[in-house]
C-alpha cells in the first residue's frame, strides 16, 4: 500500500500506522497496556502480545475498518495515537461517518495542546483529504473529563447528547464536514 501524505497541524504530524517503525510500535503498544490511559478511554489495558496487537491494528487498517495514525511531535517522536473507527455505513459501502479516538501517551505533554492539534489534523484529513471525505465525525467522552470536552469544542465539536452508564455519564459530541469547512472559511 502506498504511503499517504502525512497530515500536519501545528506541532504534530500524523503518521499512518502502516508506516510506523518497530520502535514506534513498541511505544504505541506500551500506551495501550497502560492502566491509567485505558481508564481514560473506558477500556482495559490490552493483554495481547505485541506482535498480535500490531497485526490486528494493521489488518484493520488495510481492510478500511479504521484509519489510525501515530501522533508525532515536532521532534519526530511518537507521543500518542488518533484514529477514526466505527465507520458507517460499513464496507463495502462508502463510509460517511466515523468515531474519533485520541490518546496522548506522554503524561508530561498532557494539557499542552498536542491532542487538540492532532484532532485538527485528523479532521482536516477526514473532511478535506480523504477520498471520499467523511460527512460527520463523532466521539464520546466522560462527563468529568472537562479538559477533553473543552479541547474538542475548540476543534469545532458540539455536544449532541448525554447517556448514563453504570457509575458514569457519557458526553456525545460531533462535527459535520459542513461545520468544519465553514469554520475554516471564517478563520
Residue 3: the pLDDT is 47
| Any domain includes 73 | yes
| Any domain includes 173 | no
What CATH number does the domain containing 116 carry?
3.40.630.30
| Any domain includes 170 | no
Q: Which domain, by its residues, includes 60? A: 8-135
The contacts of residue 158 (CB under 8 Å, 6+ apart) are: 173, 174, 175, 179
Residue 140: the pLDDT is 94
Report the number of distinct structural domains present in the chain. 1
| Any domain includes 159 | no
| pLDDT tens column, 42-71 | 778 899 999 999 999 999 999 888 999 999
| pLDDT tens column, 23-37 | 999 999 999 999 888
| Any domain includes 122 | yes
Helix ranges restricted to H, 19-176: 22-33, 35-40, 50-63, 114-124, 146-154
Amino acid at each position: 500500500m502506498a504511503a499517504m501524505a502525512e497530515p500536519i497541524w501545528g506541532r504534530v504530524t500524523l503518521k499512518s500506522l502502516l508506516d510506523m517503525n518497530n520502535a514506534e510500535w513498541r511505544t504505541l503498544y506500551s500506551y495501550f497496556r497502560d492502566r491509567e490511559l485505558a481508564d481514560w478511554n473506558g477500556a482495559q489495558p490490552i493483554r495481547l502480545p505485541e506482535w498480535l496487537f500490531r497485526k490486528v491494528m494493521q489488518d484493520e487498517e488495510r481492510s478500511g475498518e479504521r484509519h489510525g495514525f501515530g501522533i508525532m511531535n515536532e521532534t519526530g517522536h511518537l507521543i500518542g495515537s488518533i484514529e477514526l473507527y466505527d465507520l458507517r455505513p460499513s464496507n463495502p459501502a462508502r463510509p460517511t461517518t466515523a468515531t474519533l479516538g485520541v490518546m496522548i501517551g506522554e503524561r508530561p505533554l498532557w494539557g499542552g495542546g498536542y491532542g487538540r492539534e492532532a484532532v485538527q489534523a485528523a479532521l482536516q484529513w477526514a473532511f478535506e483529504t480523504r477520498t471520499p471525505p467523511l460527512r460527520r465525525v463523532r466521539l464520546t467522552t466522560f462527563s468529568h473529563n472537562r479538559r477533553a470536552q473543552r479541547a474538542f469544542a475548540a476543534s469545532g465539536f458540539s455536544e449532541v447528547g448525554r447517556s448514563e452508564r453504570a457509575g458514569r455519564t457519557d458526553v456525545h459530541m460531533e462535527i459535520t464536514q459542513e461545520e468544519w469547512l465553514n469554520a475554516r472559511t471564517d478563520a
